[in-house]
Amino acid sequence: MEILKNVRYAEAAPCLLDMYLPEKKGFKTVVDFHGGGMEAGDKTEEVFQKTGAYLAEKGVAFVAANYRMYPDAKFPEFIEDAAKAVAFAKREIVSYGGSGELYVAGHSAGAYLTLMLCLDRRYLLRENMNGEEICGWLSDSAQTTVHYNVLRERGEDTRIERIDAAAPLYFSDDNASFGKLLLLSYDDDIPCRLTQNRLLCESLRRFGKNGVRLDVLKGAHTQACRADENGNYPIAEILLRLVQE
């Protein structure tokens, strides 16, 4: 395994990523975005280091990306950064030995970014991608309505369930196009979060998007990103299964 740290993918200062690369070439790649409400979190957290090492040992590359956050960033700059990170990985991973087969994942706020890229094609189109290049998406406990910190930026009550062009749910129509989309939520998730994900899943299926699936796991918000009793992170195995399906 080879680890490349702080690879720059865009000009803004936080736009750095870490790459965990398998020894054997021709590998698939997962690009992953951390959570933290777009105001906290970092690619160097243990969950990403251990997930990266686990996947690389299994022959899958893992790319953990940072992005601009509040208070320095405003909507939609963090989504634009996420699009640039995905485009960078798609463009550059072949030179490191990748097959070009790409998956995108995120956790909480990072899952919100993931869904916005998946469902609102404008962000990837600006980076000369149309979304069809992504083989699979994983959203771990995303807010599918307008994110609470985007509401705060607008001066609105953060408890509001708002659906507009800053919400993944706004794009759950016949224009949505993706190969497979795995939604994760939890039986003890943040208030309304499981309901939001159920609504997104069912809304997409109404338009015949049968590649979407919702898995409801036991535990609290993004439980799969917490170490179990053996010090392992369940999200690593979940990502591996997504890539191998």
Low-confidence ranges of the chain (pLDDT < 50): none
- pTM for the model: 0.98
Q: Which residues contact 204 (CB under 8 A, 6 or more apart)?
A: 172, 176, 181, 212
pLDDT for res 241: 98
Q: From the CB of residue 227, how many other CB atoms can be counted at a distance below 10 Å?
A: 12
pLDDT for res 183: 98
Domain layout of the chain by residue ranges: 2-244
pLDDT 10s digits, 153-176: 999 999 999 999 999 999 999 999
Domain covering 2-244 assigned CATH 3.40.50.1820 in the classification: yes
* Residue among 28, 132, 177 at smallest CA distance from 89: 28
